[in-house]
Amino acid sequence: MWHCQGVTRPAPVPGAVRQGSLRELNLAVVLGRIAAAPRPPSRADVAASTGLTRATVSAVVDDLIAGRLVAESDPAPRNGAGRPARGLVLAGSGPAGLGLEINVDYLAACVVDLAGEVRHHTVRRADLRPVSPADALARLVALAAEARADAERQGLDLAGVALAVPGLVGDAGLVRLAPNLGWRDVAVPELLAGHPPLAGPVPGVPPLVVDNEANLAAVGELHADPTGPASFLHVSGEVGIGAGIVLDGALFRGVRGWSGEIGHIPVQPQGRPCRCGGRGCLEQYAGQEAVLAAAGLDRADLPADTAAARLADLAAAGHPAALAALAEAGQALGVAVAGVVNLLDLDTVVLGGGYALLTPWLRPAVLAEVSRRVLTAGWAPVTVRPSTLGPEAAVVGAAGSVVRRIVAEPVGWLTRQS
């Protein structure tokens, strides 16, 4: 059965490993320390940093190794006396997360292991606007089955699936509205019910989470750059433009879970009509199709995933129409970003999705608008930078969200193994 939810509180776990909450807590604490350590820690390091006894740490580590959550690395050379200890790392074989993405003009699948490494990544180009939701999801299932087979060849077990969609997701995986796909009230779990499950079951890990792609991309970026800021605006620029607002290290979802629709901030209130029914939305000036049209490029001639790369190539070569189109898009984006910074006082704007490749040409115009329009710009600088993950952020973020859940609460996975 496909099980969907935006935010999940794991159900109580039956089984042999559950011997009370102290044990669960110790498993999570030790695994969390190993995950967060900048270098592979020894058992003694983990004991010292957690305050647990070395005997407890050793017993817990043995369980984590037996459960394929932790592995021992080769000993690192050490200065000074004594035998170097073996370091503990998150296992590269064991549970993994499957990330899927359905966007306007491509499908993607991605497998991320417990250590956050991308172990499989496929993108399939297709204009999905003329395709029914059921057919689009059937194609995605085929892509997912390939990913699963590849993961299994690598010794990985898919523990759960997260699906990124370019739209607003309600309860139980219902896509309320995805304007650029033409989807309205698409019950993803129902459409997937006839297909075999692709992951799990693992207690505490939902087999399928459906979430907005901009949200998953922002969270992916947060975890891809642990030294980065704890609060930032992540803007995903594709055919649509979405944002994820990260505040103090957590995604801000809004009152009902539908935050981040920056693409529909009005930047020319009486301007071009938008698919959403409004006018002058940012998407109509800085979305991929608007930029391609302004650059004189025919979208039909250009595989969608290559549009940003093609624009970047032309801009790098000094193509005047491409440069003008990107400056115009950057200005519209800057108007919206200036409004967001005036409102939220964020100091970092990360350009993701297709924008990641185009940052050198978008940034000057964005910064000019920020400097001109943000009240605090004179003394409180705003950084605009490309995302670390680029166009893959949503699908990598989706897969990563599955494994982060296991790291946070490993007992479910261990129960499954016992």
Cα 269 to Cα 295: distance, rounded to the nearest angstrom: 23
For residue 270 the two structure tokens come to: 């009486």
Residue choice 231, 288, 387, 401 for contact with a second copy (CB under 8 A): 231
Of 31, 199, 340, 349, the one binding a second copy by CB under 8 A: 340
CA 136 remoteness from chain centre: 21
**Nearest-angstrom CA–CA distance, 388 and 13:** 36
Which C-beta is closer to a second copy: that of 89 or that of 217?
217
For residue 87, the SS3 value is coil
Residue 249 touches a second copy, criterion: CB under 8 A: no
72 vs 258, beta carbon nearer a second copy = 258
Q: Supply angle C-alpha 181, 301, 327, rounded to 5.
A: 80
Contact 234, 243 (CB under 8 A): yes
Can residue 102 be called a binding residue for a second copy (CB under 8 A)? no
3-state secondary structure of 222: helix
Count CB neighbours of 186 within 10 A.
24
Nearer to a second copy, 228 or 257 (CB): 257
Q: Which stretch binds a second copy (CB under 8 A): 32-40, 55-63, 275-283, 297-305?
A: 275-283
* Region of 158-166, 188-196, 218-226, 374-382 interacting with a second copy (CB under 8 A): 374-382
Distance between CA atoms of residues 30 and 106, nearest Å: 39
252 belongs to the binding site for a second copy (CB under 8 A): yes
Examine residue 338 and tell whether it contacts a second copy (CB under 8 A).
Answer: yes
| 124/279 with CB nearer a second copy | 279
The reply on whether position 367 binds a second copy by CB under 8 A is: no
Nearest approach in angstroms of CB 260 to a second copy is 7
Beta bridge partners of 120: 111
Cα angle 253-258-262, degrees, rounded to a multiple of 5: 95
Angstrom distance (rounded) from CA 413 to CA 394: 24
- Told to check if 374 binds a second copy by CB under 8 A, we report yes
Q: What b-and-e string marks burial along 79-100, b requiring 16 or more CB atoms within 10 Å of the CB?
A: eeeeeebebbbbbbebbbbbbb
Which among 230, 285, 289, 294 is positioned nearest to 262, based on CA atoms? 285
Closest by alpha carbon to 210, among 172, 254, 155, 156?
172
Residue type, 65: I
Nearer to a second copy, 13 or 214 (CB): 214
Count the alpha carbons within 13 Å of 124 in the hemisphere toward its beta carbon. 18
Pick between residue 166 and residue 390 the one whose CB is nearest to a second copy: 166
- Our finding on whether 372 is near a second copy (CB under 8 A) is yes
Q: Are 129 and 104 in contact (CB under 8 A)?
A: yes
Min CB(330)–a second copy separation in Å: 13
Note whether 224 binds a second copy by CB under 8 A.
Answer: no
Q: Which is nearer to a second copy, 42 or 331 (CB)?
A: 331
264 contributes a contact to a second copy by CB under 8 A: yes
As measured in angstroms, the least distance from the Cβ of 341 to a second copy is: 9
- Does 254 contact a second copy by CB under 8 A? yes
Per rule CB under 8 A, is residue 328 in the interface with a second copy?
no
To a second copy, the closest distance from the beta carbon of 358 in angstroms equals 21
Residue 124 interacts with a second copy (CB under 8 A): yes or no: no
Q: Tell the smallest beta-carbon distance from residue 226 to a second copy (Å).
A: 18
Q: Is 335 in the site for a second copy (CB under 8 A)?
A: yes
Does position 39 interact with a second copy (CB under 8 A)? The reply is no
Distance CA 120, CA 100 (A): 11
Helix (H, G, I), strand (E, B) or coil at 192: helix
321 binds a second copy (CB under 8 A): no
Return residues touching a second copy (CB under 8 A).
168, 176-177, 179, 231, 243, 245, 247, 252-262, 264-269, 276-279, 281, 335-336, 338-340, 342-347, 372-376, 378-380
